[in-house]
């Protein structure tokens, strides 16, 4: 088995010639039902994950699984349409491999989006939440993507995580959301492994420990992006209430449907953010 660095290099070598003259510095990861942003890109080059050496293909409905390189207005970006999840059976190294490859391709800023349940009782389906911090439950239980030998050329053995989400990017997102009239909260994202949704008691617990939104992605990628010295912005689209009150049950179809509704807001916001960053 090749070392992690060799695997990254193999994927980079496969993708780099396809970038032609593009030199994107920003990548955007599109979560469940949020893939529509990629359709707004111009002059695109599209690479299915299944063709990229070392990439795992997503098995989940609503995650189409391709890398799209193109222009958002005049800004060069890479959009990752779909991601793989720990609950699909991949390990944490596999679900974060693409972050390593983006870094090797020259990406400096990673915008991670996801669909999430709203633990905070103020949140409504369709709202957006800028991630201030996370609680990475699988990571705390031993499934940290940095577990195992550390390659010092990729990052530190013990990277700090006190400021995992870049405050300047969050401030920018908040300002742009206000300007565009888009509801934008700021809060703590809790990641669970899934795939089952939470019990009522778990939801009460997650709220008690300080969570505002709950989902099944993003935290491992944020860890690896920080390890690789990237700037990170995380945005959750709240697709359902997850307060444990009332009868409503979260389900994947609802997550996808509300995600699609929130998609245009999120796309407008990301467009505004990216324009300010260039
Ligand atoms: N729980 C966990 N993950 C989710 C949810 C939820 O309620 N909604 C969207 N992703």
Token pair 């053995």 in the structure block, residue: 157
215 ligand 1 Cβ < 6 A: yes
| 158-163 long-range contacts, CB within 8 A, separation 24+ | 159/223, 159/226, 159/227, 160/226, 161/223, 161/226
Cα distance between residue 35 and residue 237, in whole Å? 12
Which one of 27, 32, 38, 176 is the catalytic residue? 32
Contacts of 209 (CB under 8 A, 6+ apart): 135, 190
- Domain ranges across the chain: 4-277
* Token pair in block for residue 21: 């003259």
Residue that is written with structure tokens 């008690």 in the block: 208
Tell me the pLDDT of the chain averaged across its residues.
91
Q: Which of 216, 219, 225, 237 is catalytic?
A: 216
**Best CA proximity match to 77, nearest among 51, 114, 40, 34:** 40
Tens digits of per-residue pLDDT, 211-238?
999 999 999 999 999 999 999 999 999 9
Distance CA 131, CA 188 (A): 6
Query: Is the C-beta atom of 250 inside 6 A of ligand 1?
Result: yes
Q: Give the count of beta carbons closer than 10 Å to the beta carbon of residue 15.
A: 21
**Kind and range of the H or E run holding 235:** strand 231-241
* Structure confidence at residue 59 as a pLDDT band (50, 70, 90): low
Catalytic residue, chosen from 240, 242, 262, 265, is: 240
Q: Whose CA is nearest to atom 5 of ligand 1?
A: 117
Q: Which atom of ligand 1 is nearest to the CA of 198?
A: 1
User: What's the gap in Å between 250 CA and the centre of ligand 1?
Assistant: 7
Closest atom of ligand 1 to 118 CA is 7
> Is residue 253 classed exposed, middle or buried when 0-12, 13-18 and 19+ CB atoms within 10 A define those classes?
exposed
Angle between helices 252-277 and 167-180 (to 10 degrees): 100
pLDDT of 208 above 60: yes
Tokens for 268, please give them: 């407008």
What would the pLDDT profile of 30-43 be if each residue is shown by its tens digit? 987 677 787 788 88
Tell me which residue has its CA closest to atom 3 in ligand 1.
215
Distance 216 CA to ligand 1 centre (A): 7
| Nearest Cα residue to 149 out of 2, 1, 4 | 4
Superfamily, domain 4-277:
Nucleoside phosphorylase domain (3.40.50.1580)
CA distances from 192 to 4, 7, 140, 244 (A): 26, 28, 10, 16
Is residue 168 among the annotated active site residues?
A: no
Q: Are 242 and 198 in contact (CB under 8 A)?
A: yes
pLDDT at 61: 60
**Active site includes 85?**
yes
- DSSP type of residue 112: E
Residue 178: pLDDT above 90? yes
Would you call 129 a catalytic residue per the annotation? no
Cβ neighbours of 13 (radius 10 Å): 11
And the tokens for 217? 């992605």
* Average of per-residue pLDDT across 76-95: 93
Question: Which among 87, 161, 250, 257 is annotated as catalytic?
Answer: 87
Tell me what the mean pLDDT of segment 94-115 comes to: 96
Please name the helix (run of DSSP H) or strand (run of DSSP E) that holds residue 46, with its range, or none.
strand 42-48
Instruction: Report strand pairing: 213-215 vs 75-81.
Output: unpaired
Judge if the beta carbon of residue 214 lies within 6 A of ligand 1: yes
Q: Name 143's Cβ contacts closer than 8 Å, sequence gap at least 6.
A: 86, 91, 92, 193, 220
pLDDT at 256: 79
Residue 87 catalytic?
A: yes
Residue 230 alpha carbon to ligand 1 centre in Å: 26
Q: Which ligand 1 atom lies nearest to the CA of residue 192?
A: 2
Please choose from 61, 86, 87, 117 the residue to mutate so as to test ligand 1's pocket, defined by most ligand atoms within 8 A of CB: 117
């Amino acid at each position: 088995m090749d070392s992690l660095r060799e695997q990254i290099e193999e994927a980079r070598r496969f993708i780099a010639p396809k970038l032609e003259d593009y030199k994107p510095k920003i990548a955007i990861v599109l979560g469940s039902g949020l893939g529509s942003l990629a359709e707004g890109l111009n002059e695109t080059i599209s690479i299915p994950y299944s063709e990229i050496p070392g990439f795992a293909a997503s098995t989940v409905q609503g995650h189409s699984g391709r890398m799209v390189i193109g222009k958002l207005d005049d800004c060069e970006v890479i959009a990752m349409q779909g991601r793989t999840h720990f609950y699909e059976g991949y390990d944490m190294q596999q679900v974060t491999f693409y972050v390593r490859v983006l870094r090797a391709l020259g990406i400096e800023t990673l915008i991670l989006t996801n669909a999430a349940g709203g633990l905070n009782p103020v949140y409504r389906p369709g709202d957006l939440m800028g991630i201030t911090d996370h609680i990475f439950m699988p990571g705390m239980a031993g499934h940290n993507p940095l577990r195992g030998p550390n390659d010092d050329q990729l990052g530190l053995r013990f990277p700090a995580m006190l400021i995992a989400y870049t405050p300047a990017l969050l401030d920018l997102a908040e300002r742009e959301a206000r300007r565009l009239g888009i509801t934008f909260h700021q809060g703590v994202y809790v990641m669970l492994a899934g795939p089952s949704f939470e019990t009522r008691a778990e939801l009460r617990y997650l709220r008690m420990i300080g969570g505002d939104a709950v989902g099944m992605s993003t935290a491992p990628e944020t860890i690896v992006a920080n390890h690789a010295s990237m700037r990170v912005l995380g945005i959750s689209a709240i697709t359902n209430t997850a307060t444990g009150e009332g009868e409503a049950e979260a389900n994947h179809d609802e997550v996808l449907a509300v995600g699609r509704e929130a998609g245009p807001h999120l796309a407008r916001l990301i467009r505004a953010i990216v324009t300010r960053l260039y």
